[in-house]
Structure 1
Amino acid sequence: MEITTWYLEQDDPAGIRPARPPAWPVEIVRAELPSPELNRFLYTAVGGDWSWSDRLGWTWRQWHDWLDRPGVETWVASVRGTPAGYAELDGHRPGEVEIAYFGLLPRFAGQGVGGHLLTVVLRHAWSLSERHPALPPVRRVTLNTCSLDGPAALANYQARGLRVVRTQTRPGDSQPQAPGPWPGADRPKP
């Protein structure tokens, strides 16, 4: 099995193409206090079905230290008080903001929540240096996705105005086993 990674970027905030309104009213707020518990929950709830595993071994301190860095922000989407998805921004590279993590909880896929969340997150990415004055102005926003991510991910990113700047394919040993949101989770897959 081959795994393809697409590297995307946007070099002008005027390039954001807003999504149509979602099926439900969606509230999107910034989690302003570093919360390892919240971010680990979001990471596993969103990424468990897509083989996200690079942070599963992180300790509480590693999560906290990452989240407490200048330019790292977590934006949480909710529908009627229920977490629906999130995005994590990382502004540690001068002039660049990476959307390091982005996704929805399975219940909210296919409802227009992802396009709306990405529209809002792109706007927040472009204005990151306004909230963190020590950072230089943002000149580009980046993101990457791969063939193990959700089937609508790449199309959503491109529909919002991100463009593929590089593609990389590498061999994979076999279809990785997605860990689910917690060990032993037994629920229908999206």
Structure 2
Amino acid sequence: MATLTVTTWSLEQTSPTDLRPATAPEGDVRVVRAEVPSPELSRFLYASVGGDILWTDRLGWTYARWQEYLARPGVETWVAYDRGTPAGYVELDPQDEGVVEIAYFGLIPAFRGRRIGGHLLSYGTARAWDLEDRWPELTGTKRVWLHTCSKDGEHAMANYRRRGFQLFDTKVEEEPEAAAPGPWPGAYPA
């Protein structure tokens, strides 16, 4: 089986003052929290955003597994809408000792390159920093982190750096080569 060399970079912010927000895009772009845990919505966003960049780790999750994950205190899904249409999302996953991971972030391919990503990342990062306001049972956020890899979009790393994230780890691993699953066969971009 063929393999693919994948570089994974981990980045962090250690203070809310590290965040350098992007300018909001023009037009009717809104970011809204999906307050009702919905495996259907989360699976749709995951497959639609990650289908062309080889997000596969959650494709095998059962409905019950999605439900269990989304019901954890502090797990939040924030969805960007462009004129009422889902354009992308950011998923927050609180961890021990005031750490919040931006577990997933990205845009559906048709919405990339329209200045929505920087705004969504800024908004999601700010919500990671104020997570305790909505979940008082959690420890206040002391660190926000995420990872990106060489399979992600070509502008991902630059966006993270422009928002104030600093590199703290790099790993290079071999992974089995796989075809991009897409949200369905023939989906954009063809």
Normalized against structure 2, the TM-score is what?
Answer: 0.94
Q: What are structure 1's unaligned runs of at least 5 residues?
A: none
Q: What is the rounded CA distance, in whole Å, between the counterparts of 1:5 and 1:16 in structure 2?
A: 22
> Does 2:180 match 1:162?
no
Distance across 1 between alignment mates of 2:159 and 2:106: 11
Q: Does 1:145 align with 2:187?
A: no
Partner of 1:54: 57
Secondary structure, aligned partner of 2:138: coil
Find the aligned partners of 1:98 and 1:82 in 2 and give their Cα distance: 26
Partners of 2:110 and 2:188 within 8 A in 1: no
CA contact (8 A) 2:92 2:101 kept: yes
Once the two structures are TM-superposed, the CA of residue 24 in structure 1 deviates from its matched residue by 2.9
Shift in Å at residue 189 of structure 1? 2.5
What is aligned with 1:114?
117
Tell me the SS of whatever aligns to 2:186.
coil
Encode CA deviations 1:40-99: one digit per residue, 9 max, x unaligned.
Answer: 000000000110011111111100010000010000000111000001000132210000
Identity %: 53
| Superposed CA offset, 1:108-153 (max 9, x none) | 1001000000011111000011111111110000000100111111
Alpha-carbon distance in 2 for matches of 1:188, 1:81: 19
Q: Distance in 2 between matches of 1:9 and 1:60?
A: 31
Provide runs of 4+ in structure 1 moved above 6 Å.
Answer: none
The count of residues paired between Structure 1 and Structure 2 equals 187
**Which residue of 2 is the match for residue 16 of structure 1?**
19
CA distance in 2, matches of 1:66, 1:56: 14
Instruction: Give the letter aligned to residue 123 of structure 1.
Output: A
**2:182 corresponds to which residue?**
180
One-letter code aligned to 2:186: D
Q: CA 1:91–1:157 in structure 2 vs 1: closer, same or farther (change >3 Å)?
A: same
Name the aligned partner's letter for residue 181 of structure 1.
P
**1:25 Cα offset (Å):** 2.6
Asked if 1 retains the 8 angstrom alpha-carbon contact of 2:109 and 2:188, the reply is no
Gaps of 5+ in 2: none
Length-normalised TM-score, structure 1? 0.94
Q: Given residue 42 of structure 1, which amino acid in structure 2 is its aligned partner?
A: L
Q: Per the alignment, in what secondary structure is the counterpart of residue 50 of structure 1?
A: coil
